[in-house]
Amino acid sequence: MKKKGMADIIVTVLLIGLVLALGSIVWVVVSNLTNKNLQSTQSCFGNYGEISLNNQYTCYNTNTKELNFSIIIGDVSVDKVVISISGAGIIKSYSIPGTYPNAKMFGASSYGGALVLPNKSEGLTYVTKDFQSIPDTIKIAPVINGQQCDYSDTLSQIDTC
């Protein structure tokens, strides 16, 4: 009789230990997955609106068929900025900094030079001749700490220069 009572206690202790061990394993796995996802989204968190399009200097010149688009970077460190421009069945993306044959910095004499990113709390204007008519939309998405964030600004009405 005494041995049977001891066996029940041992089985109960082993089951509790097994449940605790499995719970610990699940906790570690879930914690690691959560931390990885949090780290990748923390780069973009709180930076919405810090990278925007400058409507004042974004326009389409119908005479030269050139699109000027201007971006402003607030007080945030940005690796690069991805600009997506769509219109008349064409979608073009520009990653700044970068080099494109039909794009240039505003004021540059020739196309194909390097497009540079504005510094913190600054803005720059760029010119492209990839569109033969006024584009429909311009979207801008920052890349912070290697993570591309969601679009931070969209312009649906592009004026003529």
For the chain, the domains span 1-42, 51-160
Q: How many residues does the chain have?
A: 161
b (16+ CB within 10 A) / e for 30-40 = eeeeeeeeeee
Nearest to 82, CA basis, from 71, 74, 90, 68? 71
CA distance 34 to 37: 5
pLDDT value at position 4? Answer: 63
- 134, 122 Cβ separation under 8 angstroms: no
pLDDT value at position 25? Answer: 94
pTM of the model: 0.72
pLDDT value at position 39? Answer: 60
pLDDT value at position 82? Answer: 94
Q: Which fold has domain 51-160?
A: Immunoglobulin-like (2.60.40)
- 155, 51 Cβ separation under 8 angstroms: no
pLDDT, averaged in runs of 10, over the chain (161 residues):
69 91 92 71 70 92 94 90 90 93 93 92 94 92 87 91 88
